[in-house]
Amino acid sequence: MNGPTDYPFAPVNFTAVTFADTFWRPRLETNRSVTLPFNFRKCEETGRISNFAKAAGQMAGAHEGIFYNDSDVFKVVEGAAYCLALAQDPELDNYLDNLIALFAGAQEEDGYLYTARTIDPAAVRAEREGLTRWSHLRVNHELYNVGHLYEAAAAHFQATGKRTLLDVALKNAALIDSVFGPDKLRAVPGHQEIEIGLAKLYRVTGEERWLRLAKFFLDERGHANGRELYTNFGNPGYMQDHLPVLEQAEAVGHSVRAVYMYTGMADVAALTGDSSYIAAIDRLWENVVGRKLYITGGIGARHTGEAFGDDYELPNAEAYAETCAAIANILWNQRMFLLHGDARYIDVLELSLYNGFLSGVSFSGDEFFYTNPLASDGKTAVNRGSLGRQPWFDCSCCPTNDVRFLASLPGYVYATTDDTLYVNLFVAGEGEIEMNGEAVGLRQETAYPWDGRLRLRVDPAQKSHFSLALRIPGWANNQPVPSDLYRFADGESAGAVLTINGETVTPTLEKGYAVLRRVWQPGDVVEMNLPMPVRRVLCNEAVETNRGRVALMRGPLVYCVEGVDNGGSVSHLSLADTAPLSVEHHPELLNGVTVIRSEGAQPITAIPYYAWSHRGPGEMAVWVQRQSQ
């Protein structure tokens, strides 16, 4: 360990940022008022919560469901804690208190917490859980589950000041720390997550042993120290245990496991100052963004193993692109920005946020996509056996992940260093940020993502000198993603225009940011205009499935064509390079969307990808045939 350190760029806490827009604010409110209680209700109905009561001796009966269902409850608790941090809710607070009491009751005396084994050790399925503790970590999720417990505990403690859940988490972590280590049991979890949770425990408590344990679980991967390296589905890299983490250069295997691991590596790199970790995840990021990223920001090409494919293997109708993987991609790219301060990571984050993630949650907040394909024939099930979004799944990692992520979204808007305030996402609302020891109020006014105009009022408590860095999105700089995997086909669009108090300025451009250095006065107003023409997107020719095809983007949004808007079918559609494209905003359609129309010989109507499948089953495609000159 290199002593206390952390990310050089600090996110502004979500509790300091409020949304007032018509795009995200309603979704956050739906998440709080619908998705959160819906998830708790489903956890009750499916036995996920009663499993804790059974393990606590308060109920009779066998364990219900899958052995990693404990983690779903912990994730929803984390989302609930974020909601409590934003607004008092005595009923929710009391519900959590009762639930945490169940967790504590289900915890064995030495700190062990895994309801499947505690309820009836003799009934544990050897092929899944192993006959004894820690005997089948390749599959059984003993460590994965408690990683989510640690994240929930940190969130609950920070939101309420109560130690009840934190004490459960620390008791469990102490047990695991007594069992695992270089001179103890040398093994790793089959599904990464505990590394992220341990980093959060370290931040909350300052106890270095949690950070050491997180680093151990990472450093032990790819080493056969008295164990067989993990494989599955005939893929030696399925669990990223095929090579030591510092030697990995290609994203392989189960995409959520992989990107949780990269996220944990970023945390450990920041907290220890270990530059070798940074070099490794830099290589892996280049591989993902250059060769394995869908234009929607989704990741994971294969249903088998929920895995990354080979380089440039990006099928459309067969895409897995799990919602959890999009969330993982957002978590990872946020941390990459916090390490490097480069806008290209936020570009990928934004792409995943508005497209690959958002498609996974219905407008109503109680139906979900597990997978997010880029094409559908309207007949073949794409979503765990279903054509459309579903209320729940046997494996419901995505609905429970959605609720915790959305509640924390305001924390992705701003970041700071000692002398620079970064504006990363464009959402109407307000923020209260500290710069140079003084409070600075920010007020964004924008209709993003439908309009690229931003008005930002800067209100320091008193005049103050610092830099304001506004992200110039890659899409506004003629680059759909920060690699050569995709490119715009239609030349260059006009660049961003900035003014301060009505006077045009030419800012310094640094790592994708327009940097404005000045003494800020209360009431200063920065305006930025990002032109939002419709852009045709072409794919690298190495991606066989997209050769001769074209996609459409406008601002951060990827568009698709649905049969319901195009005569019932989209398989026959083609788009000429010369066909004029126009946009129309329809407040009454799909909760209010801007549609794209082509008025050529073959008219086409396209809607934002995130909104597809809200009007019943039907054909859909992101990529259509291109008619080139």
Nearest to 498 by CA among 471, 470, 469, 529: 529
Instruction: Say what angle helices 164-179 and 208-219 make with each other, to 10 degrees.
Output: 50
43, 83, 397, 560: the active-site residue: 397
Element (H, E) at 398: helix 397-408
d(CA 531, CA 262): 34
Which are the contacts of 405, defined by CB distance < 8 A and separation ≥ 6?
Answer: 79, 327, 330, 357
129, 151, 220, 306: the active-site residue: 306
Q: Nearest 5°: CA angle at 348, between 343 and 349? A: 90
Q: Nearest 5°: CA angle at 465, between 462 and 468? A: 105
Q: Within 13 Å and on the Cβ side, how many CA atoms surround 464?
A: 23
**At residue 607, what are phi and psi to the nearest 5 degrees?**
-120, 160
How far, in Å, are 43, 51, 70, 595 from residue 48 at the CA level?
Answer: 5, 5, 6, 41
d(CA 526, CA 394): 49
Nearest to 262 by CA among 233, 240, 294: 240
Number of residues that make up the chain: 629
Element (H, E) at 330: helix 323-340
Output the six-digit token pair for 17: 């940022």
Q: Nearest 5°: CA angle at 616, between 610 and 619? A: 70
Is residue 560 part of the annotated active site? The answer reads no
Nearest to 87 by CA among 18, 21, 152: 18
Is residue 306 part of the annotated active site? The answer reads yes
Cβ-based burial of 587 (10 A; exposed 0-12, middle 13-18, buried ≥19): exposed
| Catalytic residue numbers, as ranges | 306, 397
